[in-house]
Structure 1
Amino acid sequence: MSAYVVFTREQTSDSEQLVQYAEKAPLAREGRELTALAFYGQLEVLEGNEIEGAVILRFPDMAAARDWYHSPAYQEALQHRLKGATYRVFMIEGIEEAL
């Protein structure tokens, strides 16, 4: 069953760190089955606090998403994201059939 990792960038604090993150994060995707479904496109917040941007990544399952997140390549990139902005990130399992 597919799994999704969702990022919401709430506030940037160091844009240089985010540049480094943007350079390193793609390396963690190499050789992995994942699809970017949304990537900092136009957005409209309908409820809650404003956000600066959002990303949605689809993985084959929760194990694949966890493996990507905890991989050495992503953990190296992550350090720059954490220094560069406040994010909320979560993983959620998909459903087999559309409701």
Structure 2
Amino acid sequence: MTAYAIAHLRQPGAVDAEVCEYLELIQATLDPFEGRFLVHGGQTRVLEGAWPGATVVLEFPDLAAAEEWYASAEYRKILHLRTDHLVGDVILVEGCGPDHDSAAMGARLRAEAAR
């Protein structure tokens, strides 16, 4: 099942030399794990609530690959270049398959709640 690393950079801060270095180096850490950018700080339109800052979404073949990338020595070497300068949250999340049916999920959850 495809998995995603999602970063919400709430206070992006100034783009300094270390952030630029992080950006220059991150792709090489993703390649061995088949990671790729889907969203990288593009325009955001907030429809509900508040979402200050920027969004980054990385795609991986599965949750194990995403976890291995984040824990890899190569990524850990550059991680501080981001975390020392940008305030945000990062999660890993497994996607749903192409046959996902939210109506069936809702019915299952309703049935479980009724027990």
Q: TM-score, normalised by structure 1?
A: 0.86
> What does residue 22 of structure 1 align with?
23
Name the larger-Rg structure. 2
Gapped runs of 5+ residues in structure 2? 102-115
Q: Which has the larger displacement, 49-58 or 63-72?
A: 49-58
> Please, what is the CA RMSD of the aligned residues?
1.6
For residue 89 of structure 1, what is the amino acid of its counterpart? V
* Whole-Å separation in 2 of the counterparts to 1:81 and 1:39: 14
* Greater fraction of residues in helix: 2
What are the residue-to-residue correspondences of 1:46-57 with 2, within 5 Å?
46-57=47-58
Gapped runs of 5+ residues in structure 1? none
Identity score, percent: 31
Q: Deviation per CA, 1:70-99, whole angstroms, max 9, x where unpaired?
A: 111111111110011101110111112243
Work out whether 1:73 is the aligned partner of 2:74: yes
Higher RCO (C-alpha 8 Å, min separation 6): 1
Structure 1 runs of 4+ with >4 Å offset = none
